[in-house]
Structure 1
């Protein structure tokens, strides 16, 4: 049975969660009002007016009614599903299909579930489908199933635990009746089997998979699983998957901006990367990397503009203060098929964990307060903020020029940074730092950006380009 997700996404949350519960319990069978009341009562989801629920579902085209054969005055109901496409395999997925799928998923979770669940499911389903494709390739070459599993673990991502003899792919975990719990357990296991993904457990905890999940949310999550199960992502190229991942971030950007998350428009990122003209065989660093969009754009630029589609030999390094956002960056890089990355967690201004890079690129938090000589003057980092001018400590009200100094200190070639336009004109200590940058002939270009370009502020920004050579 194929659920009509477009119609489901338009339901109010109270109706949506009950619909998904009823579909799971009743399926394609006919049912009565009494049957609905019984299912809802058993799951603690009773409502005063079942007739209203059925009316809403009928109006949405999800339920149809007819007279009962033994008593035409009494109605029986059945769920209306999409006519399934007869096919031996799941339909192939193009970019537009992915966006439709994710749009349906976004509408399904709406305000009830954190948008990061959508990113997690996209990541887990994709790596699982691609892992099974690798397994299929080795089995076709004559390897046993277990040998193919171990080879896929080595070539791609480890999803098979040899010691337990257990597979932790999406295909396996979603067969369980406790699907959501099994997904959580599988992701924790995957994090332990793969170096660099150890922090997945933190994301699972933050999203509430290991704690209390309300009955409403449980059925919405299970509905999301059914939605993803409609497609096979094994043949979808990394660019399409990665772009779809970026689409989720941009789709939720206006709402998340109100909570302090920042999203840099892709056009701004492309402009900076092209001005920097990143070369292959170099290291690119983003000390405020967020979802790693700038690092990914640098990779794409070198591949498409410099290497005619061949795989670049780049080192992509990032640091992010929010450990959950750092994990989102890692998932983003993996879904783009990118290797050779390092994402550090920590405060770049006071605890930079990276080494110098050829290019340094970032859109750091604008006018970040709380940074002055008290913390920027600590022995471990003092040299950074006295590298342009003897007393280069920023005022406590704005760390904009602290970020510029940090990036200039670690850059071997060029810097591209997005700042608030006010960073060009404020006086005091910031003026002294600007003067030093000009006198050392570091500033190559300043590009003024229009107002209302960024979701989290209506203020105009700038792109500042520094050239160390």
Structure 2
């Protein structure tokens, strides 16, 4: 979240040299070349490469030079303005249809050859990782308002008190997927560590073993494809209802295969009918000895609330 965490070191250094020379004043490329030569005699960074990168990351304004259409005039954007803009960009909410399309593609990848839990667990990990990053942005912004320096705010925002789940940074989604060669081992370590930090997840994560899963070489490629698929969208803002519907879709899709293993999926229509017959009321208890996805209990709760 700190400025230097999102900008390559050589770009950050070049930016600092230019900022010391110009601040927010306009300059031309020849001015940038002189400033870099004066302040950083040891640098091998070419001004065009630096300016191009600064523009791409949003730290540089560019406009045509009215005196010569072939040339450009540049001005830097302050770090404070850049950070505020970075933090204020909202993640787009994922719709039910979009998530269902992702799950259909995931199902096509594994084609019932493996347990659907190898879709559910990575998807859940992606969700809580994206949420952790969003919560960090919010906490960082608040820390800056409270007078913390950038470095202090960065440290403060990562504390467990600001997050729904306690996640070590090394096991955030983008860090896990960096090395495709070690995905199974990294996933296994991540799930074990996260479950230790969040005991309520232990029984969830203990149901899968990615190292054992990928002993079949074909499954290594399946895991890689699933990770890349789930990386396409931010899952920060996905409502519990949509996640519940997504899980039910998976159960329904894999129902024929699971039925052979003794697991039976109860269609939502049947659950709805049973709840309407039972007519649970406030203060009463509903017991489902084989709750699985808790469809019966959730529907009963909604019935009482409504």
Distance 2:244 2:164 in 1: 17
Aligned ranges 1:320-469 → 2 under 5 Å = none
Alignment check: 8 A CA contact 2:126 2:173 kept: yes
User: What TM-score does the superposition give when structure 2 sets the normalisation length?
Assistant: 0.61
Q: Which runs of 5+ in 1 are unaligned?
A: 1-87, 161-165, 306-469
Cα drift, residue 110 of structure 1: 1.0
RMSD: 2.4
Distance 1:190 1:229 in 2: 20
Question: What residue is the counterpart of 2:177 in the other structure?
Answer: 174
Cα drift, residue 104 of structure 1: 0.7
Q: Which runs of 5+ in 2 are unaligned?
A: 1-88, 145-152
Distance 1:92 1:120 in 2: 21
Alignment partner of 2:286: what SS? strand
Distance 2:214 2:104 in 1: 26
Q: Which has the higher helix share?
A: 2
Alignment check: 8 A CA contact 2:139 2:162 kept: no
- Match among 258, 261, 281 for residue 259 of structure 1: 261
Aligned length: 209
Instruction: Name the structure, 1 or 2, with higher relative contact order (CA <8 Å, separation 6+).
Output: 2
Distance 2:211 2:119 in 1: 13
| 1:109 to 1:272, Cα distance in 2 relative to 1, 3 A | same
Is 1:301 the counterpart of 2:300? The answer is no
Distance 2:177 2:261 in 1: 32
Alignment check: 8 A CA contact 2:127 2:236 kept: yes
- Match among 274, 277, 295 for residue 276 of structure 2: 274
Alignment partner of 1:203: what SS? coil
Alignment partner of 1:135: what SS? helix
Alignment partner of 1:254: what SS? helix
Q: Which has the higher strand share?
A: 1
Is 1:227 the counterpart of 2:229? The answer is yes
| 1:261 to 1:216, Cα distance in 2 relative to 1, 3 A | same
Deviations along 1:311-368, one digit per CA (max 9) or x if unpaired, are xxxxxxxxxxxxxxxxxxxxxxxxxxxxxxxxxxxxxxxxxxxxxxxxxxxxxxxxxx
Alignment check: 8 A CA contact 1:278 1:298 kept: yes
| 1:262 to 1:111, Cα distance in 2 relative to 1, 3 A | closer
Alignment check: 8 A CA contact 1:180 1:222 kept: no
- Match among 283, 286, 306 for residue 284 of structure 1: 286
Question: What residue is the counterpart of 2:124 in the other structure?
Answer: 123
Distance 1:201 1:234 in 2: 20
Cα drift, residue 213 of structure 1: 2.1
Cα drift, residue 267 of structure 1: 1.0
Distance 2:132 2:242 in 1: 17
Distance 1:200 1:158 in 2: 15
Alignment check: 8 A CA contact 2:92 2:237 kept: no
| 1:191 to 1:273, Cα distance in 2 relative to 1, 3 A | same
Distance 2:281 2:170 in 1: 41
Distance 1:179 1:282 in 2: 46
- Match among 144, 162, 166 for residue 158 of structure 1: 166
